[in-house]
Structure 1
Amino acid sequence: MYKLILLSFITIASCGTPKNTADAVANPTSQTTAELKNQTIILALGEHVMLGSLKVHFKEVMEDSRCPTGTNCFWQGRAKLLVETSEDEMTVESNELIFGKLKPGETNNHTFYQSGKTTLIATAINPYPTSETGTAALDYKLVIDVVIK
């Protein structure tokens, strides 16, 4: 019985462990250029994309405590990301985006840039952790919808 309780405690504790990947980017940042049009773009962690004069940088995964598939967790968990946008090399905004469970005072707004006719909306963070992989070595990709009205 003692071993079952201990195993349950370890499983529960691992589901809520935040992950800081600020220093975990193995590859230097790369930059691509995309036409400013209605499209879906995918940015790898550390990557930049130029949309006209707008630079979008997927800077950091601040936390990834999402409950891995194939496990049972008491808390849904979440992924918390940092995305920066800049124009003419001047930072316009740094946005924390949260996918999953919110804490009091947090909002679920994935629209992280809006100016004129251009809107950028984060739609997903991939891949989702599994019981085999956890979050230790995930190759994070941020899915962004570019909407031009």
Structure 2
Amino acid sequence: MKISVFFLALLHSAFLALQEPVPPKYSIHTKKLCQGDMMHLGSKGIKFKKVVSDSRCPRGGAITCIWAGEVKVLVEFYEDGKLKGEKVLKGSNISINDHEVVAGTGISIVDFFNQEKDLKISSIAVYPYPDGKSDISANEYSLDLQISEKMVTD
């Protein structure tokens, strides 16, 4: 009995391996933006306006934090060169042993644009990460922005 189950599983996996790969359902757009920069998606654009607040727990052991904190950034949405709206995005990318861990956001932004496709901010990360030694000036900040756009399927 065990041998027949093994061969059935082996045969099943062989059939799965021969199938055509499933086309991706989403197109991923990634860009690093400095304050004032814009990410273009065809006629649409997302502009990194400014950092509203940054309460992330500084790197290193000098300060003990009760929570990881968060960073808030203001972004503007444009279509055909016209401002369509703005939104404050919250992120909590944290530093663990000098590695950044970026939290996904899943924020739908389709309401800002004239389209029916699913368009989401899938992750944001704000740099530099606070070190607790010095303040970060506004022009030092950058934003890693990842947008996922649902592809139209036939």
Q: 2:34 aligns with which of 44, 58, 75?
A: 44
Equivalent residue for 1:19?
Answer: none
In 2, Cα distance between equivalents of 1:39 and 1:55: 12
In 1, Cα distance between equivalents of 2:149 and 2:65: 40
TM-score, normalized by length of structure 1? 0.59
User: Offset of 1:80 from its aligned partner?
Assistant: 1.0
For the pair 1:79 / 2:71, whether they are aligned, the reply is yes
Q: How many residues align?
A: 106
Is there any run of 5+ residues in structure 2 with no aligned partner, and where? 1-26, 93-103
In 1, Cα distance between equivalents of 2:138 and 2:48: 17
Equivalent residue for 1:143?
Answer: 144
Identity %: 33
User: Offset of 1:137 from its aligned partner?
Assistant: 6.6
Higher helix residue share = 2
In 2, Cα distance between equivalents of 1:81 and 1:75: 19
In 2, Cα distance between equivalents of 1:40 and 1:120: 12
3-state SS of 1:129 partner:
coil
CA, structure 1 residues 50+147, in 2 after alignment: closer, same or farther (shift >3 Å)? same
Equivalent residue for 1:111?
Answer: 107
TM-score, normalized by length of structure 2? 0.57
Deviations 1:32-83 (A, max 9, x none): xxxxx53311111221232211121100101112121122134532211100
Equivalent residue for 1:96?
Answer: 88
Note the 1:47-66 alignment, pairs <5 A: 47-66=37-56
In 1, Cα distance between equivalents of 2:108 and 2:34: 17
One-letter amino acid of the structure 2 residue matched with residue 53 of structure 1: S
Is there any run of 5+ residues in structure 1 with no aligned partner, and where? 1-36, 101-107
In 1, Cα distance between equivalents of 2:146 and 2:138: 25
